[in-house]
Amino acid sequence: MIELQHLVKRYGDKTAVDDLHFTVKPGVVTGFLGPNGAGKSTTMRMILGLDAPTSGSVTVNGKRYAQHAAPIQEVGALLEARSIHPGRSAHNHLLALALTHGIPRRRVDEVIELTGLGKVAKKRAGAFSLGMGQRLGIAAALLGDPQTIMLDEPVNGLDPEGVLWIRTLLTSLAAEGRTVFVSSHLMSEMALTATDLVIIGRGRLMADTTVAEFIEQAGGDSVKVVSSDAARLREALLGPDVTVTGEAGSETLAVSGLSARQIGQAAADAGIAVFELTPQAVSLEEAFMTLTGDTVEYRSNAGTASKNGAPEGSVAA
C-alpha cells in the first residue's frame, strides 16, 4: 500500500510534481502512466525518501519509508537511472545490499536465479547490456521479498522475451497479494499488464481509474480480425455486448467486446481460418494522448505520433 497525500515537488521554480493525491492498493498491478517529464520518476524517488517533498507526504505500508526498520523488506524498487557501480559484479552488488539488512546469502543466489543472471553474476556490472542491467535492478528490488514492489519503466531496453518475463512477474507478484506499482509512458504497455491506472501529466493527476474503465471511456476495446470467411465468423462471434463491424465482402472485421484470445478460440471452434488478430491499442494510445495532450512538454513529437497513428508512438520522446 502506497499513500500519497498532496505531494508536491519543486526544483527551483519548476514544479515537477503538483499536488498528487492517490493510493496504490495491494493485490493488483497499478500502472503509473504519463508522458516523459510528467513527474513519474520524481514521485517514485519521493516515495523512497531519496528526494524530499516540497510539501505533502507519502507513506508506504503505513509509515514513511525511512521509518521502517527494514526498508527493502517493505518496498523493493527499480529506479529509472541505473544505480549500480560498473566496477562491481552483480553478485557483490546484491550482497552489499543484503548485508545492510542481514538478508542471508542464499537469498542473493535466489534472486540471481530468479532474474536469470546466473551466468553473468560474477561479471562486472559495467559490461552488462541495458536488459541485464534492468534484470539486476529487478533482482535488487526482489531481494528483501518486499510486500510492495515499485518499478520505474522496467521494460525500457528489454528484448521481447524480457518484456514478457516482466509482465508475467508483475502479475504473479500482484496475485500473491503484493502492491505492484509500475510506471510507463506507453498506454499500450499498461493496458497489457495493469489493472488499476493512475495517469499524470505535468505533475498533476489526470485520472485515477482502472484500465477497464479507461478503455470503456476511450470508446471500447477493439480487435482487428482478418479471415477468409468474415461473414461466418461474424455470426460465430455475435452475442450480448459484442459488436462486429466490417464492410460487406471485406475480409477485415473490427470486433469489440471480446478479447483477441476469445475471438481466436471462437474461430477455432467454428473451424474458420484467421489470418490476422490484432488488438487495436491505437485508440487507447490516442485516448491517453487526448487526456494528457495539453500537458505534453514537447508538442511537436506528440503531434507526429498521433498523425502517423503509430501504435507505440513515443510521446514526447
Ligand X SMILES: Nc1ncnc2c1ncn2[C@@H]1O[C@H](COP(=O)(O)OP(=O)(O)O)[C@@H](O)[C@H]1O
Binding site for other proteins (CB under 8 A): 45, 48-52, 65-66, 68-73, 77, 79, 81-89, 92-93, 95-97, 99-103, 140, 144-145
117 vs 292: CA distance, rounded Å: 38
Q: Which is nearer to ligand X, 42 or 179 (CB)?
A: 42
b/e map of 212-248 (b: 16 or more CB within 10 Å)?
A: eebbeebeebbbbbbbebbeebbebbeeeeeebebee
With CB cut-offs between 5 and 8 Å by kind, which of Mg ion, ligand X, other proteins, none does residue 10 bind?
Answer: none
Q: Which is nearer to ligand X, 38 or 233 (CB)?
A: 38
From 40-48, 238-246, 271-279, 287-295, give the range in contact with ligand X by CB under 6 A.
40-48
* Residue at grid coordinates 455470426: 235
With CB cut-offs between 5 and 8 Å by kind, which of ligand X, Mg ion, other proteins, none does residue 33 bind?
Answer: none
Task: Give every CB contact of residue 235 below 8 A, 6+ residues apart in sequence.
Answer: none
Q: Which is nearer to other proteins, 145 or 276 (CB)?
A: 145
With CB cut-offs between 5 and 8 Å by kind, which of ligand X, other proteins, Mg ion, none does residue 140 bind?
Answer: other proteins
Give me the helices (H) in the chain, please: 40-47, 71-74, 90-101, 105-114, 130-142, 160-175, 187-193, 211-217, 230-237, 260-270, 282-292, 299-308
Q: Which is nearer to ligand X, 34 or 71 (CB)?
A: 34
Q: How far is the CB of 39 from ligand X (least distance, A)?
A: 4
Interacting residues toward ligand X by CB under 6 A: 11, 14, 16, 34, 36-42
